[in-house]
Amino acid sequence: MSPKEHQPAGFETWRDEIPQYGFLPGDELDVKLIYNPEFSDRVIVAPDGLIHLSLIGPVQVLNRTPSDIAEELRQRYATEFRHPEAVVVPRMFSSEIIYVGGEVQRAGVLKLAHGMGVLEGVMEAGGFRETGRPDRVILIRRTRQDKPMLKVVNVRKILEGGEEKDVPLHRFDVVFVPRSNLAEVNLWIQQLLYNNLAFSSSFGYTLNRDIRPNL
């Protein structure tokens, strides 16, 4: 029979929204002042989420979009220039990573390549172990509002070349390959997400109960 899905407690309904990139520490960006190019600069986001610019000093850019930052710069430079129009251009992202765990050969943090899907993420982690369940691969992603969503991906059907389409990965996605009986999903979620990714324990992930095959 086909698997029966249950939405685990604490997870948002899955939606394939286009990610809105917010800057993180280590990212590099250009700040261009259109009518005052001598004050344009290329800066790197500091560990505290700040960049430092001529005349106006520190600007908090953590998890903010280029357009949002540019609007603040326009307002702040308005006290210095008659035409304070500014443009913010991303140059290098230091945090394009995903997490792959469970029944794969090399679990851990991996670099996210352009166009990588769940299947490619598992392959980059060395592929499935014999104890893995490729038809029940779990994908966890945060929404723009920082809420977790969960999707079960049937990688077996993708490998078989059927109509199942791979799911493109976004930065910080978590891919988990459970054992055949899903016995250790809860433990892994607790250890990796609660301790390392700062997911709130109030979500009470009950994946063994809520994500199970209808056998």
Q: How far apart are CA 165 and CA 168, in angstroms?
A: 9
Structure confidence at residue 186 as a pLDDT band (50, 70, 90): low
Average pLDDT estimate for 15-44 = 89
- Give the domains, in start order, of the chain with CATH numbers: 4-19+95-212 (3.10.560.10), 28-92 (3.30.1950.10)
pLDDT digits (tens, 9 = 90+) for 89-111: 999 888 789 999 989 999 999 99
pLDDT digits (tens, 9 = 90+) for 36-68: 999 999 999 999 999 999 899 999 999 899 999
pLDDT digits (tens, 9 = 90+) for 133-149: 999 999 999 887 778 88
Q: Where are the alpha helices (DSSP H) in 83-204?
A: 118-124, 155-159, 185-188, 195-196
Q: Is the pTM of this model over 0.75?
A: no
Q: Where are the alpha helices (DSSP H) in 61-105?
A: 66-77
Q: Is the confidence at residue 205, as pLDDT, over 50?
A: no
Phi-psi region of 182 (alpha: psi -120 to 50; beta: other; left: phi over 0): left
